[in-house]
Amino acid sequence: MKLSRTLTMLLTLALAPMAFASSPTPNDMLKKKVEDTLGLEVSSVSAAPVSGLYQVITNRGVLYITQDGSKLIHGNIYDLDSSMKNLTEAALAGPRLEMLKNFEDKMLVYKAQNEKHVVTVFTDITCGYCRKLHREMADYNKLGITVRYLAFPRQGVPSPNADEMEAVWCAKDPLKAMDDAKAGNAIAAAKCDADIAGQYNLGGSFGVNGTPAIVLEDGSMIPGYQPASALYDMLERNVAR
């Protein structure tokens, strides 16, 4: 009898950590709620800058959810005490840099000879301001700014727009094909493992909803065209901070 009680006690102690480890945490439950309800991929759940809210980073940007998982907020949170710092944007900075690493071999790179800064631009070959930025590539490079392109076909994937961008990425000379496409010239169809869909989805997870969208070295993102001098000043200010 004594041996039986001892074995029971030992089994209980051994299984207790396993039961504890398998119990879902509040973060796990919120993650499942967002994934099941919205069909999104959740990469992390953490406390939000606002008490009572959780910050959920998904493949479609940042969401905020109440502790009980019943209410969802989609929008930016700003810090009034820190010159209106966009806390939502800041939350994505680190994850963006990590996710970009997986796409470095897919980027079309216009490298500055005397490189001082590197930016990543989500671009579309039909976008007017994307073409304007591209026409001024020499100005960016002259200031030491290397520009790395990722594809963000505004018509989505699949689409004729996405096929055209794949043709650029898969051309024998992709940089020349990009130059031609941005000048409005037709590009011969081509197929390869450029993963235009993956690039497009990456942009969506970053919060890109228009092109060009420029990711800076600290992971922050600015929407729209920026003249070379303005972008350079911005990059220099970030370094000085």
The set of catalytic residues is: 124, 127, 130, 154
Q: Can you tell me the distance from the alpha carbon of 158 to that of 194, in angstroms, rounded to the nearest whole number?
A: 14
Q: Can you tell me the distance from the alpha carbon of 19 to that of 217, in angstroms, rounded to the nearest whole number?
A: 44
- Cβ(172)–Cβ(219) under 8 Å? no
Q: Can you tell me the distance from the alpha carbon of 81 to that of 61, in angstroms, rounded to the nearest whole number?
A: 24
Extract long-range pairs of 198-203: CB within 8 Å, 24+ residues apart.
198/103, 198/106, 199/103, 199/106, 199/122, 199/150, 199/151, 199/152, 200/151, 200/152, 200/153, 200/156, 200/157, 200/162, 201/59, 201/157, 202/99, 202/100, 202/103, 202/150, 203/122, 203/150, 203/152
List 158's β-bridge partners, or say none: none
| Strand pairing report for 117-123 and 145-151 | parallel
Q: Can you tell me the distance from the alpha carbon of 224 to that of 218, in angstroms, rounded to the nearest whole number?
A: 18
Sheet of 213-215: strand order equals: 108-110, 145-151, 117-123, 213-215, 221-223
